[in-house]
Amino acid sequence: MRRRGRSRREHSKRRCRWSDFLRPGSPELNAHLVEAFRKGMGETGYLEGRNVVVEYRWAQNDDQLTELAADLVRLRAAVIATPGSTTAAAAAKSATTTIPIVFSGGGDPVQTGLVASLNRPGGNVTGVSSMSGELGTKRVGLLQELVPRAARLAVLINPNNPLAEAFVADIRAAAPAIGRQIEVVTASTSRDIDTAFATLMQKRADALVLSSDALFVSSRVQLAALAARHAVPAIYPFREDAEAGGLMSYGPSNTDLVRQVGIYTGRVLNGEKPADMPILRAIRFELVINLKTAKTLGLEISPTLLARADEVIE
């Protein structure tokens, strides 16, 4: 989405700085994240429309990210922000080695090749890692506590996500210890999600663990509706999923991560170099339980689990 109004040349006369924002999804479903990004930039003295102009690009699928990243590079922004999407960060990095990139995403950015090290990234990329790929075992444990008789677990991943393989490996490593069978189902578009649920029903999955992926965040209403329709207890990565009707979520605060991206973006605009800005790690994690959905599924949630929840949606 390109902002309308003054041209880039006219803004330059007013000494505005330029920042780009690239993410899968839609602006409507991610308005709270845009607001968090603006809040973070504001903490460093940058207010959109006053002294910084942001070009927004929203990808309908992962295939569009490469094209949109190239488009933003042509605009020669001072910095490209890719909050909440490791895939978008990878696309931006492939498009430029000079324009600074600030990302947030799951997993280890060193292992995915985004940066050389956590303390000194060393290139044009820095940001915030939620390390959400490491939370698969934790989510399985919470789901097991909620539905202890679930013998067969399904794991939903986006095969295009560079963190998907590590997420599955983490859960498979824990499976023998908890005596559970693991079935992997995949979806790389919103249309694939319907097929994925048909597949997990064919495999007779008793419960579902969702990986962290921008597609699944944008499709959270669809996912919650399908889980309810098929009566599948599921645990999701983010608070937004439970707010959309998902049974339970455990993971980092998305709004806090994106606010940190905004802060780092502002610091880059102020002249700091990504190579010298250490990768931040998520420090705030939330367990959210949707009691209304639990009742719809006929599940009783133990007082112990409810007491551990950061929020219970009734």
**Predicted pLDDT of residue 198:** 94
**Predicted pLDDT of residue 5:** 41
CB atoms within 10 A of CB 32: 12
118 Cβ contact partners less than 8 Å away, ≥ 6 residues apart: 109, 110, 129, 278, 279
Q: Amino acid identity of 239?
A: R
Name the token pair of 234.
Answer: 């599921």
Pair 275, 120: CB distance under 8 Å? yes
**Predicted pLDDT of residue 132:** 63
Strand order through the sheet with 79-82: 52-59, 17-24, 79-82, 101-105, 125-129, 280-281
**Predicted pLDDT of residue 8:** 45
State the DSSP H helix or E strand holding residue 295, giving kind and residue range, or none if neither. helix 291-296
User: Measuring CA to CA, which residue among 251, 257, 256, 262 is closest to residue 288?
Assistant: 251
Pair 285, 253: CB distance under 8 Å? yes
Pair 52, 17: CB distance under 8 Å? yes
Phi, psi of 94 (to 5 degrees): -70, -25
Strand order through the sheet with 207-210: 181-186, 152-157, 207-210, 234-236, 248-252, 285-290, 311-313
Whole-angstrom Cα distance, residue 15 to residue 3?
17
Partners of 313 in the β-ladder:
290
Pair 208, 172: CB distance under 8 Å? no
Whole-angstrom Cα distance, residue 76 to residue 68?
13
Length of the chain: 314
CB atoms within 10 A of CB 250: 25
Chunked into runs of 10 residues, the chain (314 residues) has average pLDDT values of 40 63 89 95 94 92 88 91 91 96 89 92 94 78 90 92 85 76 91 94 93 87 96 94 96 93 97 96 92 95 94 94
